Structures are given as structure tokens and as C-alpha cells.
Amino acid sequence: MKSKILILEKNEHYAERLQKMLTGMLDHQVVLVTSELAVVRELTASFFDLIVLGIHQARAKEGLRLIEILLVEKKVVTVAPIMVVSDVQDPAFIQQCVKAGIADYMLYPEDPVEVLPRLEKVLNKSGGISEMLVRVSTTFLGPASRVFIEQQAKKKLNLSSLKDLQRDQLPDLLRHLAITIRPILKEKVAVFIRRLEQVFGLKHEREND
């Protein structure tokens, strides 16, 4: 399955090799950036299935701060897992990254091809678009919303399981949820729908109250 991956990497040669392998060998869509600020800008503008952060010793503090902003403080809306590829071998630094909630941490291999198996493993564990949708809904609507979301997906999109949900089906499902949930949740629904729009980079046609 083709995934959209955001990669922060300041080593241009290394980044280009990794991008060629991800797009050529695995058919993923890759967006390359070279600064922490650019990561934030991309995440506020688009949805990604995975974030790969290349953290070098010289900017280890900035890298850790970005992780905290995304995973601990949640100042930027994203539910994509974060994989760190770094030359920092300090156990305390690694522990801080893991404690913040990253999905994987690996030291820079000489050959970028060694990153691919770990990257694919993280992608497979993330559960795809359906699990990301569930994580957002349970955060705002509570654990019971998983069953509700699955029921509505089956009803609206004729899916046998929420796991079958495809990205191009999200706009229809979002419009349906906006109408269906409003009478039940009232105040919470507007916040929930806005958060879904941000996470998945979608816009829906708001119905009149």
C-alpha cells in the first residue's frame, strides 16, 4: 500500500538516496524537508502516514524539542507514528525520545537501504488510515466512539470492516459523521470534525444546524 512519508534530513545526499528507494522500490510518496520548522509547516498543511526524523548530534536538542511538541504537548495535530534515525548514541537521549512516544529509534546505517525494513515495520504497526481515524475519535468522543465510527462506515460506505477504509473515502465519511453525530454530541462535534479536518487535510461542506 502506498503511504505518504515526511522525512526530516539535513544530509542532502543521504536524503536523496533514501527518497529514491522509498519511491522507486516501495512506491511510497515522500516529502523531504531540512528543518524542524518545515516539519511543523508540512504537518499543518497535509496528512502523513509516517514521520521520519533524522536527528544529528549538532541539533539533538532541537530534534528532541520537536518530538515533545508533536507527541507530548501535541501543539501540532498529527497521529502519524514517528521514527527517529540518529547518530546520537547517548542512552539518556534515546530514553527521552522513547519516553516521549516515538515508534522506533535506530542509529544511522552507512547504507540507507538498512532503514527500509524498520520503516516498513513501523508503518505496518500503525494500523493505517482506519486506526488513525479511531485514535482521533476516541480522544475527543471517548472509547465507545470506535464502535459508532465502525457502524457508520459500514452503513455509509458498505464496508465489511473499518480496516477496509481507504483515504479517498474519508471525505464522504466525514460529511456523514458531521450530520450523524451532531444531534448526539452537540458542543463536541464541532471540535471533533475540525480536528479530523486538520489531521487528514480534509474539508467538508458544513450542513446548516
Give the start-to-end residue ranges of the domains of the chain.
Answer: 4-126, 128-200
**Fold for the domain defined by 4-126:** Rossmann fold (3.40.50)
pLDDT for residue 34: 92
Q: Do residues 182 and 204 touch, judged by C-beta distance below 8 A?
A: no
Which pLDDT does position 203 carry in this prediction?
Answer: 55
Supply the pLDDT for residue 124: 78
State residue 207's pLDDT score. Answer: 42
The pTM score is 0.69
**Cα→Cα distances 128→10, 23, 43, 67, 149, Å:** 28, 18, 17, 21, 15
The grid coordinates listed for 112 are: 540507507
Burial 20-58 (b: 16+ CB within 10 A, else e): ebbeeebebebbbbeebeebbebbeeebbbbbbbbbbee
CB 159 within 8 A of CB 173: no
Q: 106, 76 in Cβ contact below 8 A?
A: no
Per-residue pLDDT, 128: 65
pLDDT, one tens digit for every residue, the chain (209 residues): 578 899 999 988 888 888 888 888 788 899 999 999 999 989 888 878 899 999 999 999 999 999 999 988 877 767 789 999 999 999 999 999 999 999 999 999 888 888 989 998 888 776 666 777 776 677 666 777 778 888 888 888 888 887 788 777 877 887 787 777 666 655 565 666 666 666 666 554 444 44
Instruction: Tell me what pLDDT residue 189 has.
Output: 58
Query: Which pLDDT does position 183 carry in this prediction?
Result: 63
